[in-house]
Amino acid sequence: MTKDPQVRVPAPTQLPTPRDWAGGAALSTTSAPTSVNLTEQQRAVALTWLSRGLSVIPCSRTDKGPMVAGFGRDASPEQLAPFSDPEQVRQWWSGRFKRAHVGILTGRGADGRGLVVVDLDMRKPESSLPPEYADVASGADVLERLATEAGEAWPDTYTVLTPSGGIHLYFRQPEDGPLIGCATGAGPTAPHLGPLIDVRGVGGLVIAAGSYSAAQGLPYRRASAPDVLPQPLPEWLLERLRPSAAAAAPAPRPAPVHALPTASRPDRYAAAALNGATEDVASAAEGERNRRLFAAARRLGELSTTAPAVLDETTVREQLLAAALRSGQSEREALRTIRSGWERGLAGHGAGAA
């Protein structure tokens, strides 16, 4: 990142308004690149963000998924090192991943802080929202409402338009206090902001401007002026993204699952296994959290066919998620790990796993 993050934002008349951005109006005449060397372009984008003190990762151009492992919330400095290594990055976008999306790792940067990105999605026609949000068409509407309630203006910062019509607002992580994590949609605690808004912080990623989406036929496109870089979070937005002292208290432990005395031996064993797994996940130290969560979900998936009345997928997910949140993991990352471990466990059982 630059040493002077307080970059002046041009007059509003030089940029589309948030409502113009939402829905992709500014992208309507943009089509797939025809003469650009995609490999050179993607590599240049990756190295540009690297020069700004941020880490990058190759991502799929169809589903945006990461193509290299080891970057999650609990990743060690050694695991994160390749994502900020210029030589490794050049190799990725010169060989195996030469046409991949450029993903920017949010959260921790080379300067110790990095980014937090507010992702404003478009509302899908078939979606339903709480009554108080019945009239909103996008996450931009929700954020505008939050800004109005705080008596503040729309936050000016580095802005990217997505192929689906959404908006990415890039901010710098706060200099003091804990870094902002990830959250999806509405939720009772920070950093959840509201429906149709996702937050990408520690353990997350975002697709960089310049990347072309094979699925939607459009690029991720910068909307802010060339001299505008990610700005510090406005105070009103930081207050919503950072949990209060009361909210930061450890979550209660998940209630134990009890099997009736008359239950079968497999059911009693399954209940004990589930309770033991949640205790193990809840007490995991940083650096061990994701591994323990995956192992617990996989083991319970393997046992599920022996006691389906106890180890149904919903019960296992809710119990392990509560334990993971207590240990400090983000909801999004925890749910992804639980699903992966559970599916691996089911597959392992089918293959004759003990």
d(C-alpha 349, C-alpha 301), whole Å:
8
- The verdict on 95 and 186 lying in the same domain is yes
**Best-predicted range by mean pLDDT among 49-53, 95-99, 137-141?**
137-141
Give exposure, 142-159, as e/b (b: 16+ Cβ within 10 Å): bbbebbeeeeeeebbbbb
- The residue ranking higher by pLDDT, 305 or 21, is 305
- The verdict on 35 and 127 lying in the same domain is yes
Give pLDDT tens digits for 156-193: 999 999 998 999 999 999 988 888 999 999 888 889 99
Give pLDDT tens digits for 238-248: 999 987 644 44
- The verdict on 30 and 157 lying in the same domain is yes
Give pLDDT tens digits for 274-330: 999 999 998 888 678 888 999 999 999 999 889 888 899 989 999 999 988 888 887
Give pLDDT tens digits for 220-238: 999 999 999 999 999 999 9
What is the identity of the amino acid at 168? H
pTM of the full predicted structure? Answer: 0.64
Identify the pLDDT of residue 261: 58
Q: In percent, how much of the chain has pLDDT > 70? A: 80
Identify the pLDDT of residue 116: 96
Which one of 226, 241, 256 terminates a domain? 241
**Best-predicted range by mean pLDDT among 64-73, 138-147, 247-256, 275-284?**
138-147
- The verdict on 67 and 135 lying in the same domain is yes
DSSP state of 119: E
> Does 29 reside within a domain?
yes
- The verdict on 286 and 143 lying in the same domain is no
- The verdict on 236 and 302 lying in the same domain is no
Query: What's the token pair of residue 323?
Result: 């334990």
- The verdict on 280 and 197 lying in the same domain is no
Label residue 5 by pLDDT band (50, 70, 90).
Answer: very low
| Residue 238: count of CB within 10 angstroms of its CB | 18
> Does 252 reside within a domain?
no
DSSP labels for 232-299? EPPHHHHHHHS--TTTTSPPPPPPPP---TTS-HHHHHHHHHHHHHHHHHHTPPTTTHHHHHHHHHHH
> Does 250 reside within a domain?
no
- The verdict on 63 and 188 lying in the same domain is yes
If one counts the domains in the chain, the total is: 2
> Does 5 reside within a domain?
no
> Does 34 reside within a domain?
yes
> Does 139 reside within a domain?
yes
Range of the domain at 146: 12-241
Q: In percent, how much of the chain has pLDDT > 90? A: 43
Q: Is the per-residue pLDDT at 37 higher than 50?
A: yes
- The verdict on 171 and 283 lying in the same domain is no
